[in-house]
Structure 1
Amino acid sequence: MISKTKIAATAVTLALLSGPALADGELNIYNWGNYTSPELIKKFEEEFKVKVTVTDYDSNDTALAKIKAGGHGFDIVVPSGNYIPIFIQEGLLLETKPNEMPNFKNVDPQWVDVDFDKGRNYTVPWQWGTTGLTVNRKVYQGDINSWSILFDTPAELKGKVNVVPEMNDVIGAGLVYLGFSPLCNGNKEELKQVRDLLLKAKPDWISMDYGNVEKYAKEDLMAGLNWNGASLRARLQNDKIEYGYPKEGVPVWMDNVAVLADAKNVDNAKAFQNFIMDPANAAMISDFAQYANGITGSAQFMKDPAFGKAPEIVLPEGQKTYILPACPPEVTEIYTAIWTELTK
């Protein structure tokens, strides 16, 4: 537990960085569903005497649309790296200078000078991971390391496949499966092939749901495109579950905590950014959602010492990976048209 002296020192430092004193005891966080540690929130509330409200979303596009519409009342949002430049360009984020906060020294060097926020002027790491395949081995014993699980679904899995509703992950998987670049590919002919691939595959899927941990654990779902931490959480409840790394390539992503330009509780939001860069607090984030967090020194505070060696966390040697960038509007327009047709 952080001492009262350290709390006071942190509050003073943040006040110097941000100007006014802490706001009216509230903080409104807009984050992915089932992704925020209640233990972390309770600790922040008690230390800073702030009432925190967490509201869920299921995709980057949902979050972006809600924030752009205004009138949302949120202070913090947690977009993936490829959406951060969009939020910045749209004027939706406040430049809070996390790189000047006391706990910034704990950020893993590989996550400091990131392409989506050079030097970290807007964001701090939340969690990072991969997008691959969750498969129940009781039903399917074949190769799970290929996107063919989705796009040429084996007979044993037809009607039992779920796809998380994240546009860039799904379209990217289709592109690499067909041998095309997933990096903001604007080639209309290649994207037409991806569109046809997705529409042909969809009848073999049962759902496109975000909240799937319990459904995999209870075997309502048997396979699907999923994030590694969600797959790990399901495996901890059902040992028949395995995470596959498609040989065609998997995306590596990072979700990041940013303060909104129209936040009402700016100082509390900045305090939260600094708070989660403390290794003990970052460990709480990973303990709950089962993703790596990007903060050095957090491993020693993790409840499960085996977490860092889990197959869902450790990339296989030689695994093909890619990092999705923010796409230009003309590419996003084509992706969105494909996505709209797929999800209608």
Structure 2
Amino acid sequence: MSSHEPIKALIPREMLGRGMGRRAFLGGAGALGLTAFLAACSGNSSAGSNSGGGAGSKTLNMYSWAGYNDPAVIEDFTARSGISITVDSYGSNPELAAKLNAARGTSGYDICVPTHSYVKQLAEQGLIQELDHSRLPNLANLDPGVSDTTFDPGSKYSVCKAWGSTGFVYDTTVIQRELTSWADFLDAAQNEASGSVSIMEDQKECMFIYMFANGLPPNTTDEAHLEAYREYFLSNVAPHVQAFASATNASVANNERALIHCWNGDARLGIMSNADPERYKWVWPSEGANIWQDNYSIVEGAQNLDAAYEFINDQLDPEVSLKELSYLGYNTGVAGVEDAAIGAGVERPEMIFIDAERMKKLKYSEITEVDQFIISTFDEIRAAAGQA
């Protein structure tokens, strides 16, 4: 990889196009599916050797989601540290896992950015290495809620980069009643918004709508719950859906659909870009929702360890964190960033920050033994869409 330019983004060709949100690629997180992930991890599961190299390196190679760092922050870091950063991008967590597994410590990457549900698997497969917290003094700046999680207790293998949740927006010129819940979302999809609905292109996010609306465990493996979800969506929801899309900010900005399932940050970007910012209303569903967290991890076999630790530690600096939040529109997990953002006049903070009561209702998605059923069900739902 060349170290002559500070930033290089290699974006999968099929992902290019208008309306790509800063977290849009995560919508493809299930595109390769559980089968591909397991295949990627089916090789030797012993950890690769830790090179420990790069003591004086001034290069850093990062494998991440496209557009997921503020270019100005990267440039500032390079100017201060002298470390030149190359960023290559992937379109899904299974793609990340496949690449690292195939390379087995020789990928050339130093940092990757897995979503919460993949951290444990990558660690178990020896694809990311245990972190040396003594080299991350700014780890103390993180809120305990993101640094001591169920998927990686004590941040042993990962450090929070950004986190958010899921809800929906609706066009108030089309839907003139107040919507507050997933149950309302499903009702409006079959009525006022019929034929003008988009659902995220993510199998778990789609399923979570039904599970939360019906008071069921979102990560259920109960066959009866799963079949009820399948039958309901195929019969009652899919015929009214116009599109499956995770890059939603452009459709909100351009008034393209009446009811849009989306992540909070993308909804915020779309509303702020709309000529009439009051036209769409954002809903944190009353029943709860998915919570996701993307994380910095150091790749096994990383050749530029000093640079990797210096970069991650810099990202946890409060001033840098505020810049990243302002760019992404997602919470960075650094303690005090909410007050700093409000003080800095960041627009629509209520769409970035989640209060304690709502937090109690959020659940991390999990990889389970029924994921193949969830994937095949989602494929059926997409095939049945738009037939109302």
- TM-score, normalised relative to structure 2: 0.74
Whole-angstrom distance in 1 between the partners of 2:352 and 2:158: 23
Whole-angstrom distance in 1 between the partners of 2:179 and 2:336: 33
Whole-angstrom distance in 1 between the partners of 2:258 and 2:354: 22
Trace 1:295-314 onto structure 2 (pairs within 5 A). 295-299=334-338, 302=341, 305-307=344-346, 310-314=349-353
Aligned match of 1:232:
268
Where structure 2 has 5 or more consecutive residues not aligned to the other structure, the ranges are: 1-51, 384-388
Q: Secondary structure at the match of 2:179?
A: coil
Q: Deviations over 1:195-225 (max 9, x none)?
A: 2233332332222223221221111233222
Q: Secondary structure at the match of 1:252?
A: strand
Whole-angstrom distance in 2 between the partners of 1:121 and 1:223: 40
1:151–1:198 Cα contact (<8 Å) kept: no
Number of equivalent positions: 324
Aligned match of 1:323:
363
- Return closer, same or farther for 1:117/1:317 CA change in 2, 3 Å cut-off: closer
Aligned match of 1:4:
none
Aligned match of 1:38:
71
- Return closer, same or farther for 1:245/1:301 CA change in 2, 3 Å cut-off: closer
Pairing partner for 2:145 from 102, 105, 110: 110
Whole-angstrom distance in 2 between the partners of 1:142 and 1:170: 23
Aligned match of 1:96:
131
- Return closer, same or farther for 1:316/1:295 CA change in 2, 3 Å cut-off: closer
1:27–1:268 Cα contact (<8 Å) kept: no
Q: Secondary structure at the match of 2:174?
A: coil
Whole-angstrom distance in 2 between the partners of 1:221 and 1:69: 41
Aligned match of 1:123:
158
Q: Deviations over 1:23-80 (max 9, x none)?
A: 352422312x443212222222222333333344454445445544548654322222
C-alpha root-mean-square deviation of aligned residues, in Å?
2.9
Whole-angstrom distance in 2 between the partners of 1:190 and 1:76: 38
2:110–2:302 Cα contact (<8 Å) kept: yes
2:148–2:155 Cα contact (<8 Å) kept: yes
Whole-angstrom distance in 1 between the partners of 2:238 and 2:91: 19
Where structure 1 has 5 or more consecutive residues not aligned to the other structure, the ranges are: 1-17
Aligned match of 1:333:
372
Aligned match of 1:166:
202
Aligned match of 1:140:
175
Moved more, 249-258 or 275-284: 249-258
1:151–1:197 Cα contact (<8 Å) kept: no
2:168–2:260 Cα contact (<8 Å) kept: yes
Q: Secondary structure at the match of 2:170?
A: strand
Aligned match of 2:55:
21
- Return closer, same or farther for 1:47/1:317 CA change in 2, 3 Å cut-off: closer
2:54–2:305 Cα contact (<8 Å) kept: no
Q: Is the counterpart of residue 203 in structure 1 residue 236 in structure 2?
A: no
Q: Secondary structure at the match of 1:156?
A: coil
Q: Tell me the CA shift for residue 125 of structure 1.
A: 1.3
2:179–2:185 Cα contact (<8 Å) kept: no
Q: Is the counterpart of residue 50 in structure 1 residue 89 in structure 2?
A: no
The percentage of aligned residue pairs carrying the same residue is 24
2:127–2:299 Cα contact (<8 Å) kept: yes
Whole-angstrom distance in 2 between the partners of 1:216 and 1:229: 12
Q: Secondary structure at the match of 2:173?
A: coil
Q: Tell me the CA shift for residue 280 of structure 1.
A: 0.9
- Return closer, same or farther for 1:263/1:222 CA change in 2, 3 Å cut-off: farther
- Return closer, same or farther for 1:69/1:136 CA change in 2, 3 Å cut-off: farther
- Return closer, same or farther for 1:168/1:73 CA change in 2, 3 Å cut-off: farther
Q: Tell me the CA shift for residue 304 of structure 1.
A: 6.6
Aligned match of 1:220:
256
Q: Secondary structure at the match of 1:119?
A: helix
Whole-angstrom distance in 1 between the partners of 2:201 and 2:166: 12
Q: Tell me the CA shift for residue 294 of structure 1.
A: 0.8
- Return closer, same or farther for 1:61/1:306 CA change in 2, 3 Å cut-off: farther
Moved more, 229-238 or 305-314: 305-314
2:158–2:295 Cα contact (<8 Å) kept: yes
Counterpart of 1:30, as a letter, is S
Aligned match of 1:287:
326
Q: Tell me the CA shift for residue 275 of structure 1.
A: 1.2
Pairing partner for 1:83 from 99, 107, 118: 118
Moved more, 299-308 or 236-245: 299-308
- Return closer, same or farther for 1:209/1:309 CA change in 2, 3 Å cut-off: closer
Counterpart of 1:327, as a letter, is I
Counterpart of 1:147, as a letter, is W
Moved more, 43-52 or 186-195: 43-52
Whole-angstrom distance in 1 between the partners of 2:131 and 2:357: 38
Q: Is the counterpart of residue 193 in structure 1 residue 228 in structure 2?
A: yes
